[in-house]
Structure 1
Amino acid sequence: MDTQSSKSSKCLVVLSGIPGCGKSTLAKLLYDKLGRIYVEEQRSYLKSSKCLDVIVVSYDELIPENIPLDDKSQQTWKECREEILFCIDYLLKKEISLESLTKSPPGVSDVLWETFYAIVRKQFTSAESVVIVLDDNMYYTSMRNKYFQIARKYTCGFCQLHLACNVQTALKRNVIRNQPITEDVIVAMAAKIEPPNTHYNSWETYSIVINTDSEIESQLPRIMSLVKTAMLNPVQPIEETNPALTAESRQICSSNVIHQSDQILRKIVSQKMTNLKGIAEDKSTLQQLSKKYIDVRKTCLDKIKTGQVSFPVAVDEPNVSCDINSELYQQILRLFEQLLKEIT
């Protein structure tokens, strides 16, 4: 890849993690020190001392705290998040130029836009490069993927920082927050959260996990390296093709993936059953484990059919399912083992 021609001057950095894991602390560190690290690493050929702006967009500052706890609250919360997404899209569309951000974009309330614009104006100094840090829980993969699609739309860098934290540590930190949230919310989110999974989602390639049970400032060089790599390899737009041919190709590809996956899953279950025959203590145990394997196989296939998991590999070869060393086979095996572990 020609990094000189493809390099982007912008990067979206998505934080994820349960409340109390240290996202806001990390976001502040990135704002305070990432630009300085960038300059120190590249001082030999930078034209000025202010070559990297870090803009932290905190969802807590943009989503009203007084959303009522009723049936409408979830809808209001979703609408606020959608408006923030529009704001980020609009910001990149306008090339992060304060002069061009004269009015709120379509679909965004004047109140939210004024707050968003104030956040950007306070942090942006027209530097050569800009890193936009999204400070939010982002506990579902689908939430983060929306920002990946924006990065693709504007061909900019994209990376993820997942903050891993012990639930008990998060609960202790929550107590000393200015506005603590209920413990039930933290526990529930810890059960739901979906960390980046580079095995199944190729778009999450530029992701790292940071353990925040301990000091996190030492991770800044590692984070800077990830950001620079993402900027050198911006998300590329999808090439335009004939819509009819594209739809047909997707259908064929999807059918092939499902077929090959089904064949692989059958082989995995068959091998598991063969292994059981030599170690199962009684018929009842054998039947129970057999049922568990079949249930996991069905769950795996359902996830593949519904697009909950995808595999960034080619499956053009008709007999790829026969090769246990193929990438597709190994990825499905990892998925099977992961789901089996979850129900054990």
Structure 2
Amino acid sequence: MRTAAADGGRPAGAAAGLLAALAAAAAEQQGGAGRARVGLCVLCGLPAAGKSTLARALRRRLPQRPGWACAVLSYDELIPPEAFGPPEAEAGAGPAGPSPLLPRWKRSRRELLQCLECFLRALVAGEPLSAPASATQPAWGRFLAWCQGQGLLSSAESAGAGRRWTRAATSRPLCVILDDNFYYQSMRYEVYQLARKYSLSFCQLFLECPLECCLQRNRLRSHPLPDQTIYLMARKIEMPDLKKNSWEQNSLILKSSDCTSEDNEQIISLLATALENPVKQNEENTEQKEADRAICAASTVHQADQTCRRIISQTMKDAKDKNVLPSEMKSLAEELNKLKAEFLEDLRQGNHLKNQICIQNQYSDPATSVISSFQHEATNLVNKYILK
């Protein structure tokens, strides 16, 4: 891998000084005394970009030099394949209407983060590990197995309430590498929020790999993803924006090719710098507030998508009640879904004002504009079938 961009990159001398300081700090913690020092490193990029290979290399390398413990949290291993099946109703939905459908993979990601938070809270406080109230038993069982497999939790204590940390988890700085695509900034920001909440270090390694190379590598896998999935992800992926987002400053963007010794030094330097500068809990500034607003804006498309789905469901019910022929119901559904995709793409691109309804009514909220326009067009579509 070759460094394409690095913020916080330091020369070898500076990195050596940091490593010496960290080695001294680790020596002070021998025997489990003091607060555990934990860093979260988000490893992101397209499928088959080389993330898991890099994660395994770091897990071998970090305990040897600079002497840290290292654990790799692989989303592919902890999120079961069935999570990518049909969506399911959100638990605890209110009685006001039908429960919104939540994709299982999103629920699984949420559960994994909840388990990770319990892990971080207990480790930093030096307390026994206990399950989160909201995660399912299978999710927690998988997480416990991960802890034991990474040498962080005593397997002899795993069945009872007195689960104990191993020396690997408490006696040296611990780097937890999160291995996933993390193609949206919002996905990575959730991890940053955990680091900020518990005053941990945070950094990102982004593997930039050409699309065709990822496709070729993926096809050689024993269980390859569909090409279309990687094409779609390539269109959506959001690289770290070091200038715009202050929370992404500790980031390294690497070209996915043969690893060089220079890249090794850059990665170690990034991890060391992050570990020496944990995120402050009360870190508030104008740039951060702007980043928070940007993340909230990204969720607007998701909210509009959920509302449009409910509109389609109600529209199809109305069409059935109005005796639209079964042979035409399929065509109506296809037209409605195509219409939804077009409206959501307009919202993503900021082109919602080109819809005539939005121009006429001058809605201040883009999502409200799109939803209102979609409702109007959906009504026109179903009327076309009813009046045939």
Same fold at TM > 0.5: yes
Q: Which runs of 5+ in 1 are unaligned?
A: 40-51, 241-245, 255-294, 299-304, 307-344
Q: Deviations over 1:57-82 (max 9, x none)?
A: 00011111123543449621110000
Give the letter for the 2:143 counterpart: F
Give the letter for the 2:121 counterpart: K
CA distance 1:121–1:156, change in 2 (3 Å):
same
Map of 2:72 onto structure 1? 56
Supply the distance in 2 between the matched residues of 1:200 and 1:239 (Cα, whole angstroms).
Answer: 16
- Is it true that 1:137 corresponds to 2:181 in the alignment? yes
- Is it true that 1:92 corresponds to 2:120 in the alignment? yes
User: Secondary structure of the residue that 2:71 maps to in structure 1?
Assistant: strand
Spell out structure 1 runs of 4+ moving beyond 4 A. 96-99
| C-alpha contact (below 8 Å) 1:8/1:231 kept by paired residues | no
Map of 1:212 onto structure 2? 256
| C-alpha contact (below 8 Å) 2:83/2:108 kept by paired residues | no
Q: TM-score, normalised by structure 2?
A: 0.55
Question: Which is worse superposed, 216-225 or 227-236?
Answer: 216-225
Give the letter for the 1:135 counterpart: D
CA distance 1:211–1:177, change in 2 (3 Å):
same
Map of 2:140 onto structure 1? 113
Map of 1:23 onto structure 2? 51
Q: Which runs of 5+ in 2 are unaligned?
A: 1-20, 26-34, 89-100, 153-167, 294-349, 354-363, 366-388
CA distance 1:217–1:187, change in 2 (3 Å):
farther
Question: Which is worse superposed, 72-81 or 111-120?
Answer: 72-81
Supply the distance in 1 between the matched residues of 2:82 and 2:198 (Cα, whole angstroms).
Answer: 34
Percent identical among aligned pairs is 35
Q: 1:219: Cα distance to partner?
A: 2.3
CA distance 1:97–1:116, change in 2 (3 Å):
farther
User: Secondary structure of the residue that 1:208 maps to in structure 2?
Assistant: strand
Supply the distance in 1 between the matched residues of 2:261 and 2:215 (Cα, whole angstroms).
Answer: 21
Q: 1:122: Cα distance to partner?
A: 2.0
Supply the distance in 2 between the matched residues of 1:82 and 1:194 (Cα, whole angstroms).
Answer: 20
Supply the distance in 1 between the matched residues of 2:51 and 2:275 (Cα, whole angstroms).
Answer: 22
Give the letter for the 1:76 counterpart: R
User: Secondary structure of the residue that 2:272 maps to in structure 1?
Assistant: helix
Give the letter for the 1:55 counterpart: A
Q: Deviations over 1:106-142 (max 9, x none)?
A: 2111111111111122223233111010000000000
Give the letter for the 1:54 counterpart: C
Give the letter for the 2:173 counterpart: S
Q: 1:92: Cα distance to partner?
A: 0.8
Supply the distance in 1 between the matched residues of 2:234 and 2:143 (Cα, whole angstroms).
Answer: 28
Supply the distance in 2 between the matched residues of 1:67 and 1:24 (Cα, whole angstroms).
Answer: 20
| C-alpha contact (below 8 Å) 1:10/1:157 kept by paired residues | yes
User: Secondary structure of the residue that 2:254 maps to in structure 1?
Assistant: strand
Supply the distance in 2 between the matched residues of 1:174 and 1:96 (Cα, whole angstroms).
Answer: 38
Alignment of 1:1-344 (within 5 A): 9-39=37-67, 52-67=68-83, 69-72=85-88, 75-95=103-123, 100-101=128-129, 103-123=130-150, 124=152, 125-126=168-169, 127-215=171-259, 219-238=263-282
Supply the distance in 2 between the matched residues of 1:144 and 1:235 (Cα, whole angstroms).
Answer: 15
Q: Deviations over 1:261-320 (max 9, x none)?
A: xxxxxxxxxxxxxxxxxxxxxxxxxxxxxxxxxx99x9xxxxxx99xxxxxxxxxxxxxx
User: Secondary structure of the residue that 1:235 maps to in structure 2?
Assistant: coil
Count of aligned residue pairs for this structure pair = 234
Give the letter for the 1:88 counterpart: L
Give the letter for the 2:137 counterpart: D
| C-alpha contact (below 8 Å) 1:37/1:221 kept by paired residues | no
User: Secondary structure of the residue that 2:193 maps to in structure 1?
Assistant: helix
CA distance 1:58–1:15, change in 2 (3 Å):
same
| C-alpha contact (below 8 Å) 2:75/2:179 kept by paired residues | yes
Q: 1:187: Cα distance to partner?
A: 0.9
Supply the distance in 1 between the matched residues of 2:227 and 2:125 (Cα, whole angstroms).
Answer: 41
CA distance 1:79–1:69, change in 2 (3 Å):
closer
User: Secondary structure of the residue that 1:106 maps to in structure 2?
Assistant: coil
Q: TM-score, normalised by structure 1?
A: 0.61
Supply the distance in 2 between the matched residues of 1:222 and 1:239 (Cα, whole angstroms).
Answer: 26
